[in-house]
């Protein structure tokens, strides 16, 4: 089994202030943990190429693209950041990093469909699942998983894809991008009530949204996945699976109040792998979303990748 690891140095150059939890150090922590776990050299390391604006436009409006491209401050500007909302801002490298992030997801999609690799993990930032077609928000600029899924459907000709989102926050942008699209099934769990306070009121017919109360642990989440996600995925029979891989539901992550640990992320990944082997020719592309405690994030990503790469 070949698992590719996509990233790019530009993804570390986007930053929103030294205080901000969505920091470049997140990617470095993952890379360090891959090395210390002695699995880095067992992965197919690939450098992300930038997405084209036409790729972004399959999901995002022209205004949403323009807002990011034209508002990044120059490297010589007296203002280092341009705010989009209270917790999302642009620096001089955000546009470049955002293109690399979406480009990694697209390249991974092509490589998996072309059977160059079986699956891939994209260590990218900015994250994406809160970015709606019209608006960047919640640390997210463009919706990397949505862009890749649209590429699979509209460029590569797949008929059905599934999106699995296990971030502590609901992927409101992804739901909006694919609302009532019969080609897409999205399954997710998320802490509720919690930012962005969506996913429970009138979910679209192709969404399996599983709200979870604060202070729930892995046994609760595993039972809900077994009851809600897996039957829906089996019935849908996706030709490819995309993962919005957020690790901020970890018990050590103060961004949320759920109690997952590395073994839970490994178990979830194993369930997704089993579905992919049965219906999707094993085709999975996983993209980093949240996860802000650096140690917990790095350990959880390694647990996730070990299952993807059959290195347990």
Set out the domains of the chain in order of their start, with CATH numbers.
3-308 (3.40.800.20)
Q: Measured on CA atoms in the order 168, 172, 175, 177, is the torsion positive or negative?
A: negative
Distance CA 139, CA 94 (A): 11
φ and ψ at residue 172, rounded to 5 degrees: -65, -35
| Residue 79: predicted pLDDT | 76
Percent of the chain with pLDDT over 90: 98
Q: Please tell me which residue in 130, 169, 250, 304 is annotated as part of the active site.
A: 130
Each residue's pLDDT tens digit, 80-122: 999 999 999 999 999 999 999 999 999 999 999 999 999 999 9
Distance CA 291, CA 300 (A): 9
Average pLDDT over residues 122-142: 98
Contact 126, 84 (CB under 8 A): no
Average pLDDT over residues 219-228: 98
Burial of 61: CB neighbours in 10 Å, binned 0-12, 13-18, 19+: middle
pLDDT surpasses 90 at 306: yes
Contact 211, 256 (CB under 8 A): no
| Residue 88: predicted pLDDT | 98
DSSP bridge partners of 5: 45, 121
Average pLDDT over residues 174-193: 98
Residues 6+ apart with CB under 8 A from 237: 160, 279
Closest CA to 181 of 146, 231, 129: 146
Active-site residue, 304 included:
no
The number of angstroms, rounded, from the C-alpha of 284 to the middle of its chain's C-alpha atoms is: 12
In which residue are the tokens 């849908």 written?
Answer: 236
| Residue 76: predicted pLDDT | 81
Which structure tokens are listed for 146?
């949505």
């Amino acid at each position: 089994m070949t698992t590719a690891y996509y990233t790019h140095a530009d993804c570390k150059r986007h930053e929103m202030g030294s205080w901000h939890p969505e920091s470049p150090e997140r990617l470095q922590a993952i890379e360090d943990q891959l090395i210390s776990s002695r699995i880095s050299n067992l992965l197919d390391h690939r450098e992300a190429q930038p997405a084209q604006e036409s790729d972004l436009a399959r999901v995002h409006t022209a205004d949403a693209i323009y807002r990011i491209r034209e508002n990044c401050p120059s490297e010589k500007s007296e203002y280092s950041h341009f705010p989009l909302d209270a917790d999302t801002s642009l620096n001089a490298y955000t546009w470049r990093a955002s293109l690399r992030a979406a480009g990694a997801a697209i390249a991974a999609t092509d490589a998996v469909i072309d059977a160059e690799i079986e699956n891939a993990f994209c260590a990218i930032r900015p994250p994406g699942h809160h970015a709606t077609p019209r608006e960047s928000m919640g640390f997210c600029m463009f919706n990397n998983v949505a862009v890749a899924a649209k590429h699979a459907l509209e460029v590569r000709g797949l008929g059905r894809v599934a999106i699995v989102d296990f971030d502590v926050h609901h992927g409101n942008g992804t739901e909006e991008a694919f609302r009532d699209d019969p080609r897409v099934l999205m399954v997710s769990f998320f802490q509720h009530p919690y930012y962005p306070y969506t996913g429970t009121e009138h979910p679209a017919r192709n969404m399996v949204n599983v709200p979870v109360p604060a202070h729930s642990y892995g046994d609760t989440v595993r039972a809900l996945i077994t009851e809600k996600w897996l039957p829906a995925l089996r019935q849908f029979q996706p030709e490819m699976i995309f993962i919005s891989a957020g690790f901020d539901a970890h018990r050590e992550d103060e961004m949320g109040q759920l109690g997952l640990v590395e073994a839970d992320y490994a178990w979830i990944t194993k369930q997704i792998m089993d579905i992919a082997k049965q219906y999707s020719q094993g085709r999975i592309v996983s993209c980093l979303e949240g996860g802000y405690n650096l140690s917990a994030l790095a350990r959880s990503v390694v647990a996730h990748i070990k299952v993807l790469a059959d290195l347990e």
